[in-house]
Structure 1
Amino acid sequence: MGSALLVMDFQAAFLDLFDDPAGVVDRAAGVLAATRDAGRPVVHLRVAFPPVGPPVPAANRMFGQQFRGRMIEGSPDVAVPDDLAPRPGEPVVTRRRTGPFAGSDLAPVLRGLGIDALVLTGVSTGGVVASTVCAAADEDLALTVLSDAVDDPDPDLHAALVGGLFPQHARVVTSAEHLAQGRAR
């Protein structure tokens, strides 16, 4: 079994919520490059909805209200910065809920790759990252959260999750600490 880097939701609509997402994007890109150089698996997780079909119910505050009519497959909302874009052969898992496993192919992709541990990068800390930490812990996956390669538009929420909730389920380190420990290799 092995570990994979999970690159989550670095998409235009989410990055637009930040005053300056460059730092988190650069740190995630650095870890992504090191992981690829080491020949380790990378899995991309993203949100995208089909252009036709029933809308997400309004009871879903995130996708049924805040992002209603957005994150449509092929739209600028789902674009990813070039430094974080998937390469051929890297799995891309599309989901339609905050949770990484709900209605997606993430679990079978991870099983197929022989993955029992995840290193997490992504936005936002209070959305997909928190959901992934909790859900992946329930799936008995070993977790590492890169505290500076995840971010949230609300810095207080980010700090509370990284310093409070996440250490209950995951190893929490900076991207530099992760790379210095040779974890991408």
Structure 2
Amino acid sequence: MTASRTADADPDTAAGPAFRAAQPQDVPQVVALVESAYRGDASRAGWTTEADLLDGQRTDEAAVAELLGRAESVVLLAESDGRLLACCHVERRGATGYFGMFSVSPSAQGGGLGRQVLARAEEWARAAWGVGAMEMTVIEQRADLIAWYERRGYTRTGVYEPFPYGDERFGIPLRSDLRFEKLVKSL
């Protein structure tokens, strides 16, 4: 499946974003986008910040490059006027797609771009791999984000995974009770 321009672009955006699969040369831009959306004071310009939960990095170039090198894995980019506005990672895990590393530039949040990216990721997983469901993990304390996913058809499973305390590749926790909850949606 190609990641070309979306047909159901936001009517408020003249042409809508162009979608494509990330290439190795995109890695530095992807890392910068992810960091801007989740970490530090700059991330507070958007609503997806984790700055009150985690310090340190959200990802790094080695981790993103590793995602690009996996079989049945894609990092989708949403661009407009040559500017990277959003990204996500989609991966096949058996009969299920996995959605992660979802990032929208703080300056582009709140205008419907996130919905478009999520829809494109779901479409990709169905078309490329024939999966019947999409799953993700979200930090349990991110009630606003979980509610956003629930409004898009995802359900909380009550299945939890521990936060990787001690592994600074995923950030430096600012509290001791972090864990991930699995959300799932039938496609």
TM over 0.5: no
* TM score, norm. by length of structure 1: 0.35
Q: Which structure dedicates a bigger proportion of its chain to strand?
A: 2
Q: Which structure dedicates a bigger proportion of its chain to helix?
A: 1
* TM score, norm. by length of structure 2: 0.35
